[in-house]
Amino acid sequence: MADITARNEYIAARKQARKYLSDHSGDPNGGHPAVLESILDREEHAGEISLGVHEVPLRKIVGTYTDIRSGSFSGNWLPLLAEGTEFASKWQSLYSHHIRDGITDPIKVYEYLGYFYVLEGNKRVSVLSWVGAYSLRADVTRILPRYDENNETMRIYYEIIGYDPRSFAFSGMWFRHYGSFTALIEGARRFAEQHDELHGLEPHQWLPRAYSDFALQYERAGFRSLDITTADAFIEYINVYDFPYNIPLEVLEDQVKACGAQFRLAAGEGGRIVVESNTPAPRSGGVGLFGLGVRKAHVLFAYRTPPDTSSWTRSHELARQKLEQTFEGRVTTSAVYDISDTDAGEAYASLKKAVELEKPDILFTVNSLFATASLRIALECPQVLVFNCNHAVTGLNLNTYFTKLYEQVFILGAAAGAYTASDTIGFVDLPARATDSTYAINAFAQGARLVNHNIRVKRCKPRINYSGEEDRNARRALAEAGCDVVVCQYPNYDEIVVKPCDDLYAMLCSINRNGSVVEYLAGAAWNWVAIYEKILGDYLSGGFEPILRGRLTGSFYFWLGTSSNAAPIYKVDAALGTHTSRLCDLFTELIRHSRLHPFIGPIRDRDGVLRVARYDMPNLSDIRRMDWLCDIVDETIVL
């Protein structure tokens, strides 16, 4: 019976091999396994290193060492020779042996640039490929290629083996970009420092097992067809769940499946749906899209701090209360506070508990530092629409919402440029932990330059936090640098201010030589009501139904600004003067009607590099990723 079974299996395997050969006849190898000798004839190499016997993933075995046996197999390692040949007989005997006792003897392979080529054991690879095995034991010899700095593949390979050229630990990994492996190792070392059982262990002593467990679940979940390497997918998983060390396989299986949307985004599938205008949405009655009828929603807001200690929370809470009035009878809301912004795992646990208790239709996480925890909730709870109060975050399958701050500081910059007597103005930036983008100060500088070609901008940046005391210190430092007008990105706490509004985030003021405020000229504010009403209006009218029903993959970026009244400017006309006030009104109207953009080119950075070409305009992602300073920003003062 075993012989008949083996014969039938060979016939079936050969049939699939011939189909593969026909489908891939136009491939470089003609549908057969690659031949390493032919590759080495074309490329220089720098010696061999014996690595010993290791477990090798079958999917990484891509060819033979010589061309003697390459023609006997299709490229997916199934047999091609006719039934009745000696080859077919041996293949069937080996199949029967494997079914009865299992294949345990190691084969011999060469490793070259992360892939494996068989020297001895081709039929063992073929049989195990046919039965769907994941890996097999192999005696591995590494062939070192000649290093070429201009070859990206070579750079990535040497980055990996640079850990230890004689180690096999990371041979199964490959990345699309140079630097990914180094970042992975650095992250693994930080992870080990936080876990007592890993104390003193190097990454090669524990990370390969974690990666192998992940790779197996990733393949079983059917994600290997995505246009992304398994190692890159591993990094995407880590960014959501951290390293899968010592967790049950069934938990890992569920987590890998939950990450499917993130893997697809990293592979280039699914898009970003950018919403920049606040077109009216149905708010009551009628039948919405997809025949939904009158839809209702329960909305949960999650904050770091309670409203009695945070003006940020109060401004969003006022918007939350307004929602229930605007959508009366259709929207209910609730809120949770004290969500950690320093520990993603703790934040996730708090959010998950709140979601399970409240069962919301929409979750707003009102802190950009909740991004990782929010993504995890979104992946594990697809029935909940999760929005993180954040800029357009590239690389994450996460819905976000924010205001176009760059439009506001552009107008404040124009006001500062028109008002200054010294032609030197200052900008107090956010601390490094809050943002790594430079778009705000660049927009401020562009607005000032538009009305004053002699203008220079000084920048002051706190190291860690932002407070009233640091604000005063920053203004003093900018005054010493020659500034007479300064913008601060948060309302300051000088006694001259009666009470800062909760929705105010930036103030433009004139200062004297010691940095004290002389006059407040203008302020910029948030209007969260406009954004929340837009999102809720779209939800109630069925605008998110394609995503909820799985018909569309991607993420929404709600980044509303002047045209939606989400980013208002408040001016002190008596202080600014009539003409400067009218100038601000004019710029506001031009931006509102898309006739003026803060970043229209040409714009050069401080090194003279052209960052935005003439008449070009960067998109939202480009604006968010700005990490350069435009050419009229003179210096950065760090407190």
Residue with tokens 């440029």: 417
Query: Degrees (nearest 5) of the Cα angle 629, 630, 633?
Result: 80
* Domain edges within the chain: 1-146, 405-528+565-638
10, 13, 28, 143, 214 from 35: Cα distances, Å:
24, 22, 11, 14, 30
Helices and strands (DSSP H and E) totals, the chain: 21, 22
Q: pLDDT per residue over 461-515, tens digit each? A: 877 666 777 788 889 999 999 999 999 876 444 444 434 567 888 889 999 999 9
Q: What is the pLDDT of residue 192?
A: 94
Q: What is the pLDDT of residue 282?
A: 38
- Please, are residues 588 and 594 in contact by the beta-carbon 8 Å criterion? no
Q: Which fold does the domain 405-528+565-638 belong to in CATH? A: Rossmann fold (3.40.50)
CA 243/CA 252 separation, integer angstroms: 10
Domain 1-146 has CATH 1.20.120.1200: no
Q: What is the pLDDT of residue 295?
A: 80
CA 178/CA 34 separation, integer angstroms: 25
Q: pLDDT per residue over 337-364, tens digit each? A: 999 988 888 999 999 999 999 999 999 9
CA 480/CA 357 separation, integer angstroms: 55
The predicted model gives 395-410 an average pLDDT of 89
- Please, are residues 546 and 273 in contact by the beta-carbon 8 Å criterion? no
| pLDDT > 90 in the chain, percent | 60
- Please, are residues 344 and 372 in contact by the beta-carbon 8 Å criterion? yes
pLDDT at 442 over 50: yes
pTM assigned to the model: 0.76
Q: pLDDT per residue over 467-477, tens digit each? A: 777 788 889 99
CA 546/CA 290 separation, integer angstroms: 9
- Distance from CA of residue 343 to its chain's centroid? 18
Beta strands in 479-574 (DSSP E): 485-488, 504-511, 517-525, 554-560, 569-571
The predicted model gives 539-566 an average pLDDT of 76
- Please, are residues 178 and 159 in contact by the beta-carbon 8 Å criterion? yes
The predicted model gives 254-277 an average pLDDT of 81
Please enumerate in sequence order all residues whose Cβ is within 8 A of that of 592, keeping only pairs 6 or more positions apart, or say none. Answer: 562, 563
Q: Counting Cβ atoms within 10 Å, is residue 72 exposed (0-12), middle (13-18) or buried (19+)?
A: buried
pLDDT at 450 over 80: yes
203, 330, 469, 494, 507 from 491: Cα distances, Å:
46, 35, 12, 9, 6
Q: pLDDT per residue over 30-75, tens digit each? A: 999 999 999 888 877 778 999 999 999 898 999 999 988 888 999 9
Mark 246-269 as b/e (b = at least 16 C-beta within 10 Å).
eeeeeebbebbbbbbbbbbbbbee
pLDDT at 424 over 90: yes
Asked whether this chain's domains 1-146 and 405-528+565-638 adopt the same fold, the reply is: no
- Please, are residues 283 and 537 in contact by the beta-carbon 8 Å criterion? yes
Q: What is the pLDDT of residue 548?
A: 64
Q: pLDDT per residue over 149-206, tens digit each? A: 888 999 999 999 999 988 899 988 999 999 999 999 999 999 999 999 998 899 999 9
Residue with tokens 């039948």: 287
Mark 432-456 as b/e (b = at least 16 C-beta within 10 Å).
eebeebbbbbbbbbbbbbbbbeebb
